[in-house]
Structure 1
Amino acid sequence: MPKNPQVMHPPEVARHINEACTRCGTCVRRCAFLTKYGMPGDIARRVLTGERTVDPYECSLCNLCAAVCPEELAPGDLFLALRRLAANQGLVDFKPYAPLLGYEKRGHSSLFAWYPSTPAKTVFFPGCTLPGTRPRVTWRFFETLRELEPETTMVLDCCHKPSHDLGRQSFFFEQFRSIRDRLLALGVERVIVACPNCHKVFRKYGEGLTVTTVYEVMAQKQARMTKESATVSLSTTAQVTVHDPCPLRDQPGVHQAVRSLLAARGFDIREMEDSGTRTLCCGEGGAVGFRNPTLAATWVEKRRTQAQGDRIITYCAGCAGFLNRAAPTSHLGDVLFEPERALTGKNMMAKAPITYLNRLLLKRQLKRLS
C-alpha cells in the first residue's frame, strides 16, 4: 500500500472542475449543499482564487453530483480534498466530532477488535454498527456464509471510514494499513462485508484483497442455502421500497443482489424516484449532522417523501438508524431472518451503551468458536 494512495490536491481538482463544468445546474437542482453554495465550477473558481466561501464539511460526500453530471465530473472529490487540506493545516475543530471519533477508536481497540489466530483465505468483516445494533442478524449472516463457504471466519474491527471522510488523511492511511497488513499476514485474500462504507474503503485502499458483500454471496448461492435460511413465510404480501446506500451507488451488482434476495422471499418492491446509481444520501454521510443538522435533515425528508409510506429496506445499519427517525425502516438482515418482527416493527435495534455490550458478547462467541 503506497504511503498516501489516491491523494487529491485541491488546486488540480478545482482547476479541472472549473474548466470542464458547463454550469448546467443538473447537480445543483438535486443537492441542498450545492443549492446553498452554487455551481461546482463556480466553487472551483473561488477555490483557485483563494476565496474561502464554501464549507466542505457540509457536503455529505455522497457523490450524487458525479452520478448526474453530464460531463462526468466528481465535485465530491474537491470537497474531500478541501477537508484534507483544512485538517492538515490544523484549521478544523474536531471536538464536535468527538462522539464519532471515539466510536471509531473503540472499534479498533483491543477490547472490541477480533482476528482469528489461524490462517484464513476468506473473512466476514461486518463493520461496527451492524454487530452492535443487530448481533443476532450479524450471527445469522455469519452462519449462512459458513454454510455456503465453511472455511469463512469473522473479523471484528473498524475500517476508519469516519477519519477518512473527516479529512484525517495520514491517520486514516496509517490505521487502515495496519488492518490490511494484518489480514494479509493471515493469508486473507477475500473480504466479505456487510457495511457499505467498509466496502468502499476496502475497494479503494485494500490492495491485495478482493472485496464483495454478503448480499452478493447469498444471492449467487441461494440454491445451496437451507430452507430455513433461504425462505420465509409472510402472512401477507409486503410492499417495500429499497434505499441503496450511497457508498455503493456505483455497484449495480449489489443493487441487483439485494432485490433478488427480497424478491425470492416474496416481497413486492416499489422503486423510489432516486435509487441505484442515483440514490440519495440518508443524511448521515460525511458526518454533516455534526456540522449542520438542518442540512443533513433535508436528505432524510427527501427519502421520507419518496417512500410514500412504504417500509424502507436498506443494507446499511447506519442508514437504517438515520432513516428510521422519519419513516419505518428495516435493515435487509432484519427482513431476511426475522421478517414478521421486522414488518411489524417489533425487532427494534439496540442503542448505546447496549451496542457496546452486544459487540463484546459477539467477540466472546467468536472466541468460543475458535
Structure 2
Amino acid sequence: MMSRPPLASALERMREDCTDCGACLTNCAFLSQHGTPGTIAARFDFTSPQGRQIAYQCSLCGLCAAVCPEKLDPGALFLDIRRRHVEDGDFESKPYRSILRYESLGGSALFTQYVVPPGCDTVLFPGCTLPGTRPAVTLELYRQLRRIVPSLGIVLACCGKPSHDLGRTAHFQAAFGTIRDRLVEHGVRTVLTACPNCTTIFSQYGQGLTVQTVYQPLHLHGLAKGVAAGASRAVSIHDPCPGRDDVRTQAAVRGIVTGLGHTLVELRHSRRLTMCCGEGGTVGCAAPELSDQWADRRRREADARVLVTCCAGCAGRLNRVTPTVHVLDLLFRPLVAFHRNLPVARAPFTYVNRLLLKRRIKGERLNNA
C-alpha cells in the first residue's frame, strides 16, 4: 500500500478546494443528505470514532469524482477515513458480520480452488457471486473461454474487496497477497475477471499480473450470434460503478447485447457517470436506507425496461426493485433470461452451488486431461 498523506491534510484540502458547487449533490444519495464534501469535512470531527462513522455511509462509487469540476475525489478521502478508523482499533464488526463471513468463507480452503494446468499462463477468476448465483453459467463461461484459450485455468476464491472497502487494510493485503503470490509462482501472467470488483482489485494490487474482463474476448470472438425471432428486447445497460472508467468492457458488453439482437436505450447515468446499485462500499450494512435510495434511482431511470449488467452483485440488488439480468444470462441461456422466475440462487443455496461447482470443475479437468 502506498504511503498516505496525513488525514488532517486531506481534510484541509477538501475544505479549501471544494467550492460547494453542488454538482455531486444531485447525483448522490449520501451527499444529498449530508451536504457537499467540503461541508462534511468541516462539520464532522474525524478525530473521534463517532465522527468517522459517516465515512461508512459513502458507497465509494466514484461518481462524485467523475462530476467534480475541481477533480476532487471524496470517495478516496472516505476510504482513507475508514482505514484510519480500523488502524485506531475503533472498527465495530458487528454490523458487517454477514459480509465478513461471506468473505471469510470465500477465502477458506473449503471454497477455494486453484486449477492451473501445465503451460497455463491465463486463469479465469469469476469471483464469488457469479459462481454462487449462476453455477451453470459460470461453468459454461469456463468452457467457452477454453475454446479461446485452451490452457486456461480457473481460480475460485474471494479477492477481499469487502475488507478493502471497510478499511481492513492489513487483512486485505494478507488475503489478496496470498492469491497474487500463488498465481505468480505458478507462472500465471493474465487474469480474466467476470466481476468488476475483482477487476478493480487485480488492477490496483495485482502487481505482475495483467487483468482483462471476460467480456472482451467473448465479444471479440463473436459468441453473440443472435436470439430467436421475436425474442429481442429494448434494454438498458447498468454499468457497474467500479468499472465506470473501463471503456473497453463497456463497449464489449454493449457489443454482446446488440450482437444478440437486442436494442439499447442508454440510461441518463451510464458509462463514466453510472450510478451505484446500492451495494457499493457495504453501505447496505451501515445505512440500508441509502442503499435503497440508490436502487430506487436506478429503477426510475430504467423506466420499466429490463436492465442488463456485467456484475452479479448489481443484478441481484437491482432485480429486487426492477427486472435485471446478467449479460451472461443473455449469452448462455437466452431463451429464459427475461423470465421473472429465472433460476438465480440465493443464500444459503449459493454456498452449496459453489461447492458443487468446485467439484464439477475438478471433474471437468480430469475428463479433458
Match of 2:77 in 1: 78
1:282 aligns with 2:277: yes
Go from structure 1 to structure 2 and tell me whether the alpha carbon gap of 1:70 and 1:189 turns closer, same or farther (over 3 Å shift).
Answer: same
C-alpha deviation, 1:364, in angstroms: 0.8
* Alignment partners' CA distance in 1, 2:145 and 2:180: 21
Alpha-carbon contact 2:116-2:154 (below 8 Å) kept: no
Give me the whole-angstrom Cα distance separating, in 2, the residues matched to 1:167 and 1:49.
15
Corresponding residue SS for 1:342: coil
Alignment of 1:187-336 (within 5 A): 187-222=187-222, 225=223, 230-336=225-331
Query: What amino acid is the match of 2:254?
Result: R
* Superposition deviation, residue 341 in structure 1: 0.6
Write the distance in 1 (CA, Å) between the matches of 2:69 and 2:268.
Answer: 19
Taking the aligned partners of 2:191 and 2:5, their CA distance within structure 1 comes to 26
Which of 348, 352, 356 is 1:353 aligned to?
348
SS in 1 for 2:320: coil
| Residue identity opposite 1:254 in structure 2 | T
Contact (CA 8 Å) 1:239, 1:267: kept in 2 or not? Answer: yes
Name the aligned partner's letter for residue 269 of structure 2: D
Tell me whether 1:155 sits opposite 2:163 in the alignment. no
Contact conserved, 2:46 with 2:52, CA < 8 A, in 1? no
What are the superposed Cα offsets for residues 121-180 of structure 1, whole Å, 9 maximum, x if unpaired?
A: 000000000001001111111111111111111110000000000110111111111110
- Residue equivalent to 1:40: 37
Alignment-mate amino acid for residue 259 of structure 1? R
Q: Residue in 1 aligned with 2:167?
A: 167
Distance 2:126 2:210 in 1: 15
| Equivalent residue number for residue 99 of structure 2 | 100
Whole-Å Cα distance in 1 between the matches of residues 141 and 116 of structure 2? 21
Q: Against the structure 1 CA distance between its residues 97 and 57, is the aligned structure 2 distance closer, same or farther, given a 3 Å change threshold?
A: same
Cα–Cα, structure 1 residues 240 and 49, in superposed 2: closer, same or farther, change >3 Å? closer
> Contact 1:245–1:282 (CA<8 Å) still a contact in 2?
yes
Change in Cα spacing, 1:250 to 1:141, as seen in structure 2 (3 Å) is same
Q: Distance in 1 between matches of 2:211 and 2:143?
A: 19
Quote the offset at 1:49 in angstroms: 8.0
Question: Cα RMSD between the aligned structures?
Answer: 1.7
Tell me what 2:22 maps to. 25
Per-residue CA deviations over 1:91-131 (Å, capped at 9, x if unaligned) read 22111111100010111111110012544200000000000
- What secondary structure is seen at the aligned counterpart in 2 of 1:212? strand
Inter-partner Cα distance in structure 1 for 2:270 and 2:116: 41
- CA 1:218 to 1:117, structure 2 compared with 1: closer, same or farther past 3 Å? closer
Does the 8 Å CA contact 2:52/2:82 hold for their aligned counterparts? no
Cα distance in 2, alignment partners of residues 282 and 46 from structure 1: 28
> 1:5 touches 1:205 (CA, 8 Å); kept in 2?
no
CA deviations 1:318-355 (Å, max 9, x no partner) are: 10110011001111111111122111224220011211
Q: Which segments of 5 or more consecutive residues in structure 1 lack a partner in the other structure?
A: none
Q: How many residue pairs end up in the alignment?
A: 362
Rounded Cα–Cα distance in structure 1 between residues aligned with 2:102 and 2:91: 19
Of residues 2, 9, 13, the one that matches 1:16 is 13
Aligned residue for 1:155, secondary structure, equals strand
Whole-Å separation in 1 of the counterparts to 2:5 and 2:103: 24
- Preserved CA contact (<8 Å) 2:116 2:153: no
Output the amino acid matched with 1:217. Answer: P
8 Å CA contact 1:272–1:307 kept in 2: the answer is yes
TM-score (norm 2): 0.94
Q: Is the 8 A contact 1:234 1:340 kept in 2?
A: no
Give SS of 2:335's match: helix
Alpha-carbon shift at residue 19 of structure 1 (Å): 2.6
Change (3 A) 1:31 1:8: farther
- Structure 2 residue identity aligned to 1:358: N
Shift of 1:12: 3.1
1:46 is displaced (CA, Å) by: 4.2
Give the whole-Å Cα distance in 2 for the aligned partners of 1:147 and 1:118. Answer: 15
Q: Distance in 2 between matches of 1:105 and 1:299?
A: 27
- Is 2:60 aligned against 1:61? yes
Q: Name the CA distance, whole Å, in 2 between partners of 1:231 and 1:42.
A: 51
Residues 11-43 of structure 1: per-residue CA shift (max 9 Å, x gap): 232233223222111001211211222111222
Amino acid in structure 2 at the alignment position of 1:260: G
Aligned-pair identity (%): 46
Contact residue 60 and residue 288 of structure 1 kept, 8 A: yes
Partner of 2:185: 185
Q: What SS class does the counterpart of residue 114 from structure 2 fall into?
A: coil
Counterpart of 1:60, as a letter, is S
User: Which stretches in structure 2 are left out of the alignment for 5+ residues?
Assistant: none
